[in-house]
Amino acid sequence: MIKVAVLGLGQMGATHVEAAQASPYVSQIYGYEPDEARRNERAAELKITPLTLEEILADESIQMVDIVASNDAHVPLAKAALLAGKKVLCEKPMGVTLAEAQDLLNTKQKCNGFLQIGFELHYSRMYQIMKEWIDAGLIGRVVNVAIRYYCSEFHRANTWRSKGTGSFLISEKLSHYLDLQRWYYAGQEKPASVYSISAPKVVSYFNHRDNHQISIKFSEGGIATLNFIMYSASRYHKDPLQEMLAQQAQDGHCLSCLICGTKGVIESDVFNRRIRRWQFSMVESGLENQIVENISFTPEEDNYYFHCVKEQNLRVYELVDKGLPPDVPAEDAFETMRLCFAAEQSEDSGEIIRL
Ligand X SMILES: NC(=O)c1ccc[n+]([C@@H]2O[C@H](COP(=O)([O-])OP(=O)(O)OC[C@H]3O[C@@H](n4cnc5c(N)ncnc54)[C@H](O)[C@@H]3O)[C@@H](O)[C@H]2O)c1
Contacts of 154 (CB under 8 A, 6+ apart): 230
Nearest to 89 by CA among 43, 177, 25, 40: 25
| Site for ligand X contains 34 (CB under 6 A) | yes
Closer CB to ligand X, 71 or 264, in the complex: 71
**Binding positions for ligand X, 145-174, rule CB under 6 A:** 172
CB of 351 to ligand X, least distance (A): 28
Per rule CB under 6 A, is residue 346 in the interface with ligand X?
no
Give me the helices (H) in 212-329, please: 244-248, 302-305, 309-322
Strand partners, 218: 191
- The yes or no reply on residue 118 touching ligand X (CB under 6 A) is yes
What is each CA distance from 355 to 69, 117, 144, 314, in whole angstroms? 29, 21, 19, 34
Q: Is 95 in the site for ligand X (CB under 6 A)?
A: no
On the CB side of 272, CA atoms within 13 Å amount to: 13
Q: Which is nearer to ligand X, 217 or 310 (CB)?
A: 310
Mask for 1-20, x = binds ligand X (CB under 6 A): ------xxxxxxx-------
Instruction: Using the minimum distance from each CB to ligand X, give the nearer residue, 66 or 189.
Output: 66
Map the footprint of ligand X across residues 187-246, applying CB under 6 A.
none
70 binds ligand X (CB under 6 A): yes
Residue environment code for 91-122, b if the CB has 16+ CB neighbours within 10 A, otherwise e: bbbbbbebebbbbbbebbeeeebbbbbbbbbb
Shortest distance in whole angstroms from residue 68 CB to ligand X: 5
Chain residues 245-274 in contact with ligand X, contact rule CB under 6 A: none
Window of 30-38, 229-237, 257-265, 268-276 that interacts with ligand X by CB under 6 A: 30-38
Least spacing, CB of residue 13 vs ligand X, in Å:
5
Q: Give the nearer residue to ligand X in terms of CB position, either 69 or 314.
A: 69
Segment 291-330, which members bind ligand X (CB under 6 A)? 309
Confirm or reject binding of residue 50 to ligand X (CB under 6 A).
no
- Give which of 338, 176, 340 is closest to 255, Cα–Cα: 176
- Asked whether the beta carbons of 67 and 89 are under 8 A apart, the reply is yes
Residues 3 and 49: their CA atoms lie apart, in Å, by 11
- The strand ranges marked E within 169-285 are 191-197, 211-218, 223-229, 254-261, 264-269, 274-283
Pairwise CA distance, residues 235 & 201, whole Å: 18
Site for ligand X (CB under 6 A): which residue of 20, 80, 114, 120? 120
Taking CB under 6 A as the rule, does residue 69 contact ligand X?
A: yes
Q: Which stretch binds ligand X (CB under 6 A): 31-39, 44-52, 236-244, 298-306?
A: 31-39
- Cβ proximity to ligand X: between 11 and 61 the closer is 11
Q: Closest distance between ligand X and the C-beta of residue 72, in Å?
A: 7
* Binding status of residue 344 toward ligand X by CB under 6 A: no
Three-state secondary-structure class, residue 66: strand
Question: Of 246, 265, 346, 256, nearest to 306 (Cα)?
Answer: 256
- Residue 61, sorted as left (phi over 0), alpha (psi -120 to 50) or beta, turns out to be alpha
Check binding of 66 to ligand X (CB under 6 A).
no
- Interaction of residue 51 with ligand X, rule CB under 6 A: no
* Total of chain residues touching ligand X, rule CB under 6 A: 22
Does position 94 bind ligand X by CB under 6 A?
no
**Residue 71 sits in the site that holds ligand X (CB under 6 A):** yes
Structural contact between residues 115 and 104, judged by C-beta atoms closer than 8 angstroms:
yes
Query: Closest-CB residue for ligand X?
Result: 10
Q: Footprint of ligand X on this chain (CB under 6 A)?
A: 7-13, 32-34, 68-71, 73, 77, 91-92, 118, 120, 172, 309
